[in-house]
Amino acid sequence: MNPALLTNYLDKHRPSRRDALRMAGAVGAAAALGTHADAGAAAATPSARARRPSTTQDFDDIPFDYADPSKLSHWAPGPYGPEDQRGSFNEVTDLKTAATVGLLKRHRPVKTYNLGELMWNGFPAFKTNPPRNYEQRLTIAGYEPPPGFIDDGGVLVGVDPLGENKLSIHEERFQGFASNKHPAPLATTYQIGSQLDNLNHIGAGEYFYNGHRGPEIAKSHGTTKLGSEHMGPIATRGVLLDILGVKLAQNATSDLAEPAANNKPLLREGYRITVEDIEQAMEFGGISQIEPGDALLFHTGWNELLKTRDEADIRRWEGASGLPGIYLREARWLAQFRPAMVGSDTWALEVLGNSVNNDWTAFPAHQELLMRNGIRIGESYVSEELSNDHVYEFVFVVTPQYAEGATAGNTPPMALGQPKR
């Protein structure tokens, strides 16, 4: 960790006296509990300000065998009935949205934040076959293209403009790629860049959210149940869980990685975000409780690895040595509050490259949130500006693709917030 990096951060984001007192209380509570960054599996007394259920319930890391039909009754039907296709989006009621808009103070400036990644040709993504790819091409009609345009992949429709008014046109297309899994060229996917995973995306064997079975809902275009057409736009309360901000304020350099090529800080590879980290982030941001229908965003700094398009940073972003994130205990702890979605600025949300998942379990927190609880997952949601402006509570708005049977929406979400400084 570059020592100057922490100094520069604290100079730029020097906390107010109130922030310092709040952090001192959070750190003191953590010390009293004897928590550690990777402890995760041990239960701890929660923050007095965090909302908890009335019963004393333990949250563990033991994976659940969703693919065993005899256990179907343990998680299906889901909390919103056997016909439900919206999951915890049901918590975003008209009253919830009205209360959320009321978070914005009158006569104070409101800043609009773009929470989406900039898409560019060759944007990296989780490796699949056929690959997830993004290769945009420009089509031209109505004039002669510049030299090299076609050789570089551009598409010339025609040089003659349309009509007496000489209309010319630009439009995009997406290059497709064939693979050994599917010989016909396939273009892009909604499962790339900033995306909101839908309830039909992750299952266990043939089982998906609410007990829907893949063989019964899969069609060539998508799924007949749980598709993106059932999501709908939402405007709800957003909560930033600034884990990176907490670690920098604590001078917890062992929890940080080498900075990105642009010298920006980030959590280290394989760092597990614990329940205790989440509680500290709530204290840090002045968040008294997580409420049903909230959109929760983790800030780890990992989107910085994409900004310079540095090859070494891109390889780090892809997770060759692991990713910071939550695991099952944290997913289960968060699910009790019924948030509309849980998102992060990494592409996976959950931790990779940590000892907790070295037994080759594949994305069990995705199963826990999407499949068991109907809670959607946001990936590669950019939260740096919110953190810089100390905006920890905001209006979160997303309008996913209105695409029949789709497994995700990758329209960038937005936030409306009022910077602290």
**What is the Cα–Cα distance from 239 to 282, expressed in whole angstroms?**
9
**What is the Cα–Cα distance from 271 to 235, expressed in whole angstroms?**
31
What is the per-residue pLDDT for 54?
A: 38
196: DSSP letter: E
Domain-embedded: residue 397: yes
Contacts of 319 (CB under 8 A, 6+ apart): 269, 346, 347, 348, 352, 353
What is the per-residue pLDDT for 56?
A: 38
What is the per-residue pLDDT for 7?
A: 52
Tell whether 372 and 304 lie within a shared domain.
Answer: yes
Tell whether 26 and 162 lie within a shared domain.
Answer: no
Domain-embedded: residue 239: yes
Confidence of residue 125 (pLDDT cuts 50, 70, 90): confident
The CATH number of the domain holding residue 8 is 3.50.30.50
Domain-embedded: residue 181: no
Residue 41 has pLDDT above 80, yes or no: no
Higher pLDDT, 267 or 360: 267
**What is the Cα–Cα distance from 238 to 339, expressed in whole angstroms?**
10
Higher pLDDT, 16 or 187: 187
**What is the Cα–Cα distance from 395 to 372, expressed in whole angstroms?**
27
**Cβ neighbours of 275 (radius 10 Å):** 23
CA angle 317, 319, 321 (to 5 degrees): 120
At 382-394, the pLDDT tens digits run: 999 999 999 999 9
pTM of the model: 0.85
Residue range 27-50: mean pLDDT, rounded: 36
Domain-embedded: residue 130: no
Residue 258 has pLDDT above 80, yes or no: yes
Tell whether 69 and 146 lie within a shared domain.
Answer: no
Tell whether 167 and 87 lie within a shared domain.
Answer: no
Residue 20 has pLDDT above 60, yes or no: no
**What is the Cα–Cα distance from 89 to 398, expressed in whole angstroms?**
12
Q: First vs last Cα of the chain: how many Å apart?
A: 27
Domain-embedded: residue 184: no
Domain-embedded: residue 124: no
Tell whether 202 and 332 lie within a shared domain.
Answer: yes
- Which pair of tokens denotes residue 147? 């030299």
Tell whether 168 and 197 lie within a shared domain.
Answer: no
Domain-embedded: residue 353: yes
Contacts of 154 (CB under 8 A, 6+ apart): 137, 138, 139, 140, 145
Q: Structurally, how many domains does the chain consist of?
A: 2
Tell whether 142 and 200 lie within a shared domain.
Answer: no
Contacts of 146 (CB under 8 A, 6+ apart): none
Instruction: Look at phi and psi of residue 251 and say left if phi exceeds 0, alpha if psi is from -120 to 50, else beta.
Output: left
At 320-365, the pLDDT tens digits run: 899 999 999 999 999 999 999 999 999 999 999 999 987 678 899 9
Domain-embedded: residue 186: no
Residue 198 has pLDDT above 60, yes or no: yes
**What is the Cα–Cα distance from 203 to 367, expressed in whole angstroms?**
6
Domain of residue 8, residue span: 3-119+193-417
What is the per-residue pLDDT for 180?
A: 80
What is the per-residue pLDDT for 421?
A: 66
Backbone angles phi and psi of 195, in degrees to 5: -145, 155
**Nearest Cα to 90, choosing from 371, 339, 290?**
339
Tell whether 164 and 115 lie within a shared domain.
Answer: no
Strand order in the sheet with 155-158: 155-158, 136-141, 169-174
Tell whether 293 and 351 lie within a shared domain.
Answer: yes
What is the per-residue pLDDT for 57?
A: 61
Tell whether 287 and 343 lie within a shared domain.
Answer: yes
Residue 11 has pLDDT above 60, yes or no: no
Tell whether 43 and 84 lie within a shared domain.
Answer: yes
Tell whether 336 and 365 lie within a shared domain.
Answer: yes
- Which pair of tokens denotes residue 352? 């990779």
